[in-house]
Amino acid sequence: MEEEAHGAAAETASDYINHHLTNLQVCRIDGEWVWNHCEAGLFSANTLNVDSMAIAVLLGFGFLYLFRRVAKKATSGRPGKLQTFIELIVGFVDGSVKDAFPGRNKLIAPLSLTIFIWVFLMNLMDLIPVDWLPEAAAAVGIEYLKVVPTTDPNITFAMSLSVFVLVIYYSIKIKGFGGFTKELTMHPFTPPTRGVGIIAAPFFIAFNFILEGVSLLSKPLSLSLRLFGNMYAGELIFILIALLGLYQLPLHFGWAVFHILVITLQAFIFMVLTIVYLSQAHDTGH
Amino acid sequence: MNFNLTFIGQTIAMIVFVWFCMKYIWPFIMGAIEARQDEIAEGLAAAERGRSDLAKATGESEQLIAAAREQARQIVDQANARAGEIVEQARAEGAEEKARQLDGARAEIEVEINRARDELRGEVVAIAVAGAEKLLAREIDPAAHGEMLDRLAAEL
């Protein structure tokens, strides 16, 4: 298997692309650790994408280390260059939160900061030329390596569903279970409450519930699929460009420059939508 | 798509990271930013205070200078007046002295005139006597005519 994977001469374009898009997986089958031969269903509870997980956690720790170092020495006096830079980011996130979120909540701003920086760093892995890390990994005997964690739906869905759980939690906490149920069933069409029309009320409620349920469930879905789709497509184009031989150099440069915008924008959108969804969960307006 | 343990791992990692960020990063950095904002606001207020204090002090000093100038002017005026007075006084004294000396001199002259007149009178008497002697060509007995001559001298 390993010889096959490294037989560069025999490698077709399709193999090359597939190789880049395959996670390094480990699973436990019959009491033994098995690498890269795990079942490939939609859900597999015993498998772990080692590469996505390790890179995501490493980048997360990198983010926490850097910010913690600044936070520990943070002074209200004349700040150093690093502190100024970190404060710029924190101030930017704080501004975004204050713009979109009217209430006071100690969780939302740090959550937004973590999401923004972490997603940005994970997206940033996309700018490392596609062959460097996989080749380096192959050199030490690691067969597969998918470098960009946000091209793994596990990562994006885990983040968006965590946000979704928070949305549900705050909806119920702020509006009460009754209020949240009412929001899901009494809008946008108010069911009739008197007269003969009352027999139609259950249909109104069912219709509203379907409508609002879809819009509620589409939030985490769109949040994660947008990030995953953008990064996956971007990575795929990098891989395709890498197949072009010498022509890849200008093309890679152009796409990478454009991608700087994409990765920042995607991280920003993920953060802003998180804030917006959570502020909707806090909104008792209607 | 293959959903697996990575999903759960990532969820746990996210919870831990967000918790850490909320507990150990955000409050410190935000605290520093807000403290600095307060300090800047205080500094600006202090500068504003200093500026108004300066304006007040400038006004006060201008008042003081004006008062001092006024006082100096008064002193100079007084001094001028006093000088004028002294000059007047000196002039008056001078005039008085002059008058006094003039009077003295005049009295002295009077005395001299009187004396000279007395001498002249004596000499006139002698001349008159000598002339009369010559006119009469004879000697007059001074003793016999002395009374008459004295009366003549007194009339002159």
Structural contact between residues B16 and B25, judged by C-beta atoms closer than 8 angstroms: no
Record: contact A41-B2, CB cut-off 8 A: yes
Among candidates B1, B2, B32 on the partner chain, residue whose Cβ is nearest the Cβ of A75: B32
Share of chain A above pLDDT 70, in %: 95
Question: pLDDT at position B145, please?
Answer: 72
Residue A286 confidence (pLDDT) above 90: no
pLDDT digit string (tens) for B118-134? Answer: 888 888 888 888 887 78
- The residues, ordered by sequence, that sit 6+ positions from A65 with a Cβ below 8 Å of its Cβ are none
Domain ranges (residues) in chain B: 5-155
With residue A44 as reference, give the H or E element that holds it: strand A43-44
The SS3 call for residue A57 is: helix
Residue A4 confidence (pLDDT) above 50: no
Record: contact B6-A49, CB cut-off 8 A: yes
User: What's the burial of A175, exposed, middle or buried (CB within 10 Å: 0-12/13-18/19+)?
Assistant: middle
Chain A residues with CB under 8 Å of B43 CB are none
Question: pLDDT at position B140, please?
Answer: 60
Q: Which residues pair with A29 in a beta bridge?
A: A32
Structural contact between residues B41 and A84, judged by C-beta atoms closer than 8 angstroms: no
What is the arithmetic mean of pLDDT over A101-114? 90
pLDDT digit string (tens) for A220-237? Answer: 999 999 999 999 999 999
CA nearest to B37, candidates A154, A129, A87, A24:
A87
Structural contact between residues B42 and A102, judged by C-beta atoms closer than 8 angstroms: no
Among A53, A106, A224, the strongest candidate for a mutation testing the B interface, having the largest count of B CBs within 10 A, is A53
According to DSSP, residue B22 is labeled: I
Chain B residues with CB under 8 Å of A49 CB are 4, 6
Record: contact A56-B10, CB cut-off 8 A: yes
Among B15, B16, B17, B34, the strongest candidate for a mutation testing the A interface, having the largest count of A CBs within 10 A, is B17
CA nearest to A165, candidates A4, A67, A278, A76:
A278
Chain B residues with CB under 8 Å of A161 CB are 11
Q: Which amino acid is at A42?
A: L
Residue B38 confidence (pLDDT) above 60: yes
Chain B residues with CB under 8 Å of A83 CB are 32
Strands A43-44 and B3-4: parallel
Residue B142 confidence (pLDDT) above 80: no
Band (A188; pLDDT cuts 50, 70, 90):
confident
Instruction: Name the token pair of A281.
Output: 């969960």
Band (B68; pLDDT cuts 50, 70, 90):
very high
Structural contact between residues A281 and A183, judged by C-beta atoms closer than 8 angstroms: no
